[in-house]
Amino acid sequence: MTLNAHPALPEFEYIRPASLAEASHFLSLHPDTARPFLGGTDVFVRMRDGFLAPEFLVDVKNLDGTNQLRFDSESGLTIGAAVSMNQVAASPDVQAHYPLLAEACRSVASYQLRTRATIVGNICNASPAGDTIGACLVFDCVLHIHGVNGFCEEPLSSFFKGPGRTILKPGDIVTAIHLPPPPKDCAGKYMKLGRNQLSDLSIVGVAALGYKEPACTSGYRFRLALASVAPVPLMVSEVETYLANNTITPDALHEAARLAMEACSPIDDVRGSARYRKQMVRNLSLKALAEVWKKLG
């Protein structure tokens, strides 16, 4: 079926495969002209704006369990690719065990948009500004990928190659994300600075997670991930190392926030200058780490 659904959209053919195998096969046969899509909230906007003109859009929703969300305390959380951000944020399991992920989902655009938008789409779009990516990174997310040779797994930490670029090959479809069981009694915070409260990408995003860790000199481990301040979503290992090895005090949190600022390499763009972003990384990192520390009691 050929569609020209919106006057400003280029024509494309809508493909609805019956299985993952069929979808991967089709995508591998048309590496330059076919694209998978889920909610379409990135794809259609980029097509409308002339950045993409795929001949085929391959609908990978509703394939082989991609619309399921499952949690158990032994194995953790699996979120199918087609599960919307609203479904994730409303899940009692996510709210109970990964509230940071629910908070990150709720920071994206508007309720209406989140009924379509997915975490997997947010990740595969590979924008450094993706709001849900930091929360996935601090929980050590792994991607389940179906390709022409079957399934494989890839840590999210090695998925991104640059703005809009990932390790995915033609025919590869991310079918789910998996988060291991959360560290016991962990606390998290997502802080987003946008130009307005609704429907804007982040100027800076900070996802922080903390928990007790007897193996660390400080007795705690903190993990920090940043959005919109580097070519790819950024885990700041310097913060983790520093706070693992130094007693947690207000001064130590200030130093950790300074390390986060030093680690990032933002650019100037319409949403903010590089200099402003760096300052905001320090401010928001401090706030997020202090809030996590307070929650840890």
Residues interacting with ligand FAD, by CB under 6 A? 35-43, 45, 60, 81, 108-109, 113, 116-118, 120-122, 124-125, 129-131, 168, 173-174, 199, 201
Contact 206, 224 (CB under 8 A): yes
Type of residue at 172: D
CA distance to 31, 69, 127, 269, per residue, from 169 (Å)? 9, 25, 18, 30
130, containing H or E segment: none
Q: Minimum distance from CB of 133 to ligand FAD (Å)?
A: 8
Tokens of 217: 């000199």
Distance CA 9, CA 6 (A): 5
CB-nearer residue toward ligand FAD: 49 or 74: 49
Contact 246, 218 (CB under 8 A): yes
Q: Minimum distance from CB of 267 to ligand FAD (Å)?
A: 17
Distance CA 148, CA 193 (A): 40
CB-nearer residue toward ligand FAD: 202 or 285: 202
Q: Minimum distance from CB of 100 to ligand FAD (Å)?
A: 15
Q: Which residues of 224-254 are buried (b: 16+ CB within 10 A; e: fewer)?
A: bbbbbbbbbbbbbeebbebbbebebeeebbe
Type of residue at 155: P
Q: Minimum distance from CB of 137 to ligand FAD (Å)?
A: 14
Which position has the token pair 């629910």? Answer: 102
CB-nearer residue toward ligand FAD: 45 or 274: 45
Q: Minimum distance from CB of 145 to ligand FAD (Å)?
A: 8
Q: Minimum distance from CB of 204 to ligand FAD (Å)?
A: 12
> Running DSSP on this structure, what letter comes out for residue 235?
E
> Could you give the 3-state DSSP secondary structure of residue 129?
coil
CB-nearer residue toward ligand FAD: 38 or 209: 38
The residue nearest ligand FAD at its CB is 121
CB-nearer residue toward ligand FAD: 60 or 135: 60
CB-nearer residue toward ligand FAD: 126 or 248: 126
Q: Minimum distance from CB of 287 to ligand FAD (Å)?
A: 19
CB-nearer residue toward ligand FAD: 161 or 294: 161
